[in-house]
Amino acid sequence: MTEQRLGLRIIRYDPETYDSSETREYEVPTRDSLTLLDALVSIHEEQDSSLAIRYSCRGGFCGACGVQVNGLPVLACRTRVSSLDCNGSPVEIAPLQNHPVIRDLVADFDPTFLTLGAGEPWIQSDEGSPGSGMDSDMTQEEVDRLGRSQACISCGLCDAAVPHAHVSAGFVGPAALVREFRLAADVRDGSDRDRLERVNTSGGIWDCDPDNSWDDACPVGIDPANKIELLREASIANKIGGRKRVESETAA
Ligand code: SF4
Ligand code: FES
């Protein structure tokens, strides 16, 4: 039986020369169960140890292995190569869009984590909040309001799905806004008004066009675009923020 082989065309980046123009092609033997991460690890271990990749859990939990495949952001460990329809052409692999690159396929998440940290990503209970205190019981309805937002693995795939022009113009990205939603919607958090005010500042919920591609990119089904719509609705209901972008479009 003829051995099936998979071609991969990988964008390389060398931090010493700042050269991202180099593309190298590889081939690996493939099988139905092979993941893209398996293929990258086999290249690193058996063909080219200079190829930089990042992974940890190999099970879709740690969020470390995101790459662009044929232009779409995916977790390499959750992507079966048999699902990639390339019509016999090599699969194009590049580092995650909208993130600085450390080397080859390793994106720099420091800016993402700094942005997430700036949103004070912990529950801030106070006496006045309905569910103040970490031991508060939550009703099923209050838990349901959070949706899947608690499952975020900070993988940055939704940020990578945003058109680059929006990020260049200062849009903070869906991942940070999902984190703000998760806390603002939590009945135990007493700073929901501060959070809504923060997401209404420049680069926030009105400086983007929430898009289904963000939802498609999310490996844990959070629907980041929907969470931004919910933040917009909550802001309007609470008379917070400017809706600058929408108003300027209406006025045009
Ligand atoms: S919302 Fe989804 S895609 Fe975005 S960082 Fe969280 S888990 Fe990743
Ligand atoms: S290696 Fe952890 S999510 Fe892929």
Ligand 1: centre distance to CA 155 (Å): 6
**DSSP labels for 74-116?**
EEGGG-BGGG---TTSPEEEEPPTTS-EEETTEE--HHHHHHH
Pocket-forming residues, ligand 2, beta carbon under 6 Å: 55-58, 60-65, 75, 77
Atom of ligand 1 nearest to the CA of 153: 7
pLDDT value at position 247? 38
Ligand showing the shortest atom-to-Cα distance for residue 37: 2
Q: What is the CA radius of gyration of the chain?
A: 21
Atom of ligand 1 nearest to the CA of 156: 5
**DSSP labels for 188-237?**
T-S-HHHHHHHHTSTTSTTSS---HHHHHH-TT---HHHHHHHHHHHHHH
Atom of ligand 2 nearest to the CA of 78: 4
Domains of the chain, CATH where assigned: 5-107 (3.10.20.30), 110-251 (1.10.1060.10)
Element housing 159 (H / E): helix 157-160
pLDDT value at position 8? 95
Ligand 1: centre distance to CA 181 (Å): 13
pLDDT value at position 251? 35
This prediction's pTM: 0.89
Pocket-forming residues, ligand 1, beta carbon under 6 Å: 152-158, 174-175, 178, 217-218, 220, 222, 224
pLDDT value at position 48? 96
Ligand 2: centre distance to CA 73 (Å): 13
Spans in the chain with pLDDT lower than 50: 244-252
Atom of ligand 1 nearest to the CA of 218: 3
